[in-house]
């Protein structure tokens, strides 16, 4: 019997464990998923939470309810991964041996990397932060809002742009604030990283709403007393409300071997999803250093590939399933409208249709995610994508 250990119970880890449990009999494989708190967070709704359109409780569920029977859930922190000796060491002192390991522990935000961040800035990359931001947004009476990106890469690349466009609508239409302006700080040489999305979606929408943006701006520090953002380029931006995507890093796991870069992103083959030189170690989702979006859909599609490769290896002694960079995101352009962005390593996105229907799909997705996608009772991968996108 093969031992499979999955580290992290987010999208990627849950999908890997569930797909493998459906494919492999209990005599063929023992599957253990380690998660640090045993709770599963549906993160896209932080975008709705920070303007009071959603609450955290609908987006958090116990991980054990989302796993198939026959998967051992261990609630513990991973203290070290030792790939040479095929061991996962836990903070409780327990050790798990494995034949196959999947690292899917995600990304973490580190506000301390920007001096003054904790005192001066808000963000929405997590429910506690989004709820706190809602209080600030709700009490905002007018003035200058600076929204920006405090470091690359970060989870859900379109989200700061979506937040900007939604916040404009919230202030303008819901709160009917007359005297406010929003400016956006991008570290990139253009507004958004993916050129067609920048040119055809975000730039026209920002122009339509009168939102000014600044390119090649790298935030260095925040002065919360003067309410000022200072940049590496020597510029200063005064704000009344500051919303900044904090720097992200790979989950804080120790590795006995050098499996990560200097920001703790796991060195992952972008097609096979194996880690460095280890054919028995996979990484999926936000924790990889693969040059694609850190997005839920990527974690889902990578998890399907990784689980298929492990299945193929156990059954046939080799694996040929490859990840092609497939990414699908709903991108909100207004409160009530969205478009779909689809691409892979070879084909850039295009043909953006901004519709109310896409907004409805984005709102519906959570139900599909919790009820169907994670457990996949019908055995049909990517059902939502096939039906609607």
Partner 1 sequence: MTEEVVVDARGSFCPGPLMETIKTIRKVPSGTKIVVLSSDEGSTKDIPKWAEKAGHQVVEVSKEEDHWKIVIVKK
Query: Cβ closer to partner 1: 152 or 364?
Result: 152
| Closer by beta carbon to partner 1, 261 or else 277 | 261
Nearer to partner 1, 1 or 113 (CB): 113
Cα–Cα distance list, 276 to 257, 261, 283, 373 (Å):
10, 11, 10, 29
Cβ atoms 318, 274 nearer than 8 A: no
CB of 358 to partner 1, least distance (A): 27
Closest distance to partner 1 from the beta carbon of 218 (Å): 6
Nearer to partner 1, 13 or 246 (CB): 246
Please report how close the Cβ of residue 291 comes to partner 1 at its closest, in angstroms.
7
User: Residue 304 CB, nearest distance to partner 1 (Å)?
Assistant: 25
To the nearest whole angstrom, how small is the minimum distance from the Cβ of residue 192 to partner 1? 10
Closest distance between partner 1 and the C-beta of residue 343, in Å? 13
Task: Please list the residues that pair with 241 across neighbouring strands.
Answer: 145
Provide CB contacts within 8 A for 151, sequence distance 6+. 113, 114, 187, 219, 245, 246, 247, 248
Interface with partner 1 (CB under 8 A): 152, 187-189, 193, 195, 216, 218, 232-234, 291
User: Of 218 and 312, which CB lies nearer to partner 1 in the complex structure?
Assistant: 218
Q: Of the two residues 172 and 272, which places its CB atom closer to partner 1 in the complex?
A: 272
Rounded CA-CA distance 364/211 in Å is: 29
| Cβ neighbours of residue 28 closer than 8 Å, sequence gap 6 or more | 1, 2, 314
Neighbouring CB atoms inside 10 A of 179's CB total 9
* Main-chain phi, psi angles of 336, to 5 degrees: 110, -5
């Amino acid at each position: 019997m093969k031992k499979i250990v999955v580290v992290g119970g987010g999208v990627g880890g849950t999908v890997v464990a569930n797909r493998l449990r459906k494919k492999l009999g209990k005599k063929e494989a023992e599957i253990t998923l380690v998660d640090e708190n045993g709770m599963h967070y549906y993160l896209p709704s932080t975008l709705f939470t920070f303007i009071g359109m959603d609450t955290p409780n609908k987006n958090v569920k116990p991980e054990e309810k989302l796993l198939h029977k026959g998967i051992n859930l261990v609630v513990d922190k991973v203290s070290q991964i030792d790939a040479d000796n095929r061991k996962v060491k836990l903070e409780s002192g327990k050790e798990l041996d494995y034949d196959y390991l999947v690292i899917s522990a995600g990304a973490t935000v580190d506000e301390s990397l920007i001096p003054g961040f904790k005192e001066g800035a808000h963000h929405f990359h997590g429910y506690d932060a989004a709820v706190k931001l809602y209080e600030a947004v709700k009490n905002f009476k007018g003035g200058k809002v600076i929204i920006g990106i405090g470091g690359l890469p970060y989870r859900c690349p379109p989200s700061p742009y979506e937040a900007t466009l939604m916040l404009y609508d919230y202030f303008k239409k819901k709160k009917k604030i007359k005297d406010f302006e929003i400016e956006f700080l991008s570290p990139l040489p253009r507004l958004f990283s993916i050129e067609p999305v920048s040119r055809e979606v975000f730039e026209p929408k920002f122009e339509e709403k009168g939102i000014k943006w600044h390119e090649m701006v790298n935030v260095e520090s925040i002065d919360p007393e003067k309410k000022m953002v200072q940049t590496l380029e020597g510029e200063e931006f005064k704000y009344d409300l500051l919303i900044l995507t904090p720097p992200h890093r790979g989950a804080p796991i120790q590795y006995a071997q050098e499996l990560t870069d200097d920001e703790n992103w796991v060195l992952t083959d972008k097609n096979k999803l194996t880690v460095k030189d280890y054919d028995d170690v996979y990484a999926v989702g936000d924790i990889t250093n693969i040059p694609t979006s850190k997005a839920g859909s990527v974690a889902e599609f990578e998890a399907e590939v990784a689980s298929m490769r492990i299945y193929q290896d156990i059954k046939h002694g080799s694996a040929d399933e490859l990840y092609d960079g497939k990414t699908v995101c709903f991108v909100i352009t207004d409160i009530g409208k969205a478009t779909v962005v689809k691409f892979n390593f070879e084909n850039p996105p295009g043909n953006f249709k901004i519709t109310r229907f896409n907004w409805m799909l984005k709102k519906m997705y959570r139900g599909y995610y919790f009820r169907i996608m994670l457990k996949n009772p019908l055995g049909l991968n990517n059902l939502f994508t096939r039906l609607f996108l």
